[in-house]
Amino acid sequence: MALNLAEALASIETQAEAADWRTAIRLAGAGLVAGGATTDAYTDEMIAAVEKHGPYMVIAPGIALAHSRPSPAVLTGGLSWVSLATPVEFGNAANDPVTLVIGLAAKDHAAHLAVMQALAGVLSNSVAMKRLAVAGTADEVRAVLGELAAAA
């Protein structure tokens, strides 16, 4: 059985409303803070990363992996999950608009590889992603992720 991504999620928010990409990243950041993974400063660092490097974090159609680098604002590290009720433009020509924002915080470059493996497994599963996109509650998201982990 592969690592269950649900266990690595500091928080799950479904069908959230965000007017723009900054608000969408703030939701993902707030999830990391609520789960004890980071402080508020990390949220600002994630937004600054997009301002500096552009919207490259939109890594696949509809999916943004919001993150910054290891810093004092990372307490334990972890992931947050925010699905959006209304898709948001990040300015990425190939993969806009975004319907899922994953917030990622890591203490160092090596610690989170098992989590990243699990994340890659989920995000590359297009059937599961369709179910996850329409999931209306955190429990539904957890249920799908649990099934995936059990099947892997």
Partner 1 sequence: MKIVAVCGMGIGTSVLLKMNAEKVLAKLGIDADVEAADMGVARGAAQTAEIVLTSEELAEELGDVPAQVIVIKNFFDLEEITEKLTAAVE
Binding site for partner 1 (CB under 8 A): 49, 52-57, 59-61, 65, 67-70, 92-95, 104, 106, 109, 112-113, 116-117, 119-120, 123-124
Whether cis (ω within 30° of 0) applies to the bond prior to 97 is yes
109 noted as active-site residue: no
Provide the Cα torsion 83, 148, 7, 3; round to 10°.
-130
The smaller minimum CB distance to partner 1, of residues 85 and 111, is found at: 111
Cβ at position 39, least distance to partner 1 in Å: 17
The smaller minimum CB distance to partner 1, of residues 120 and 151, is found at: 120
Measure the CA–CA gap between 139 and 88, rounded to whole angstroms.
Answer: 24
The smaller minimum CB distance to partner 1, of residues 61 and 87, is found at: 61
Cβ at position 54, least distance to partner 1 in Å: 4
Measure the CA–CA gap between 52 and 73, rounded to whole angstroms.
Answer: 19
Q: Please check whether residue 17 is in contact with residue 124, taking contact to mean a CB–CB distance below 8 angstroms.
A: no
Cβ at position 22, least distance to partner 1 in Å: 17
Measure the CA–CA gap between 73 and 8, rounded to whole angstroms.
Answer: 18
Cβ at position 50, least distance to partner 1 in Å: 9
The smaller minimum CB distance to partner 1, of residues 15 and 117, is found at: 117
Residue of 53, 67, 109, 112 with catalytic role: 67
Selection from 50, 101, 32, 41 nearest residue 71 by Cα:
41
Maximum C-alpha span of the chain:
39
Catalytic residues: 67
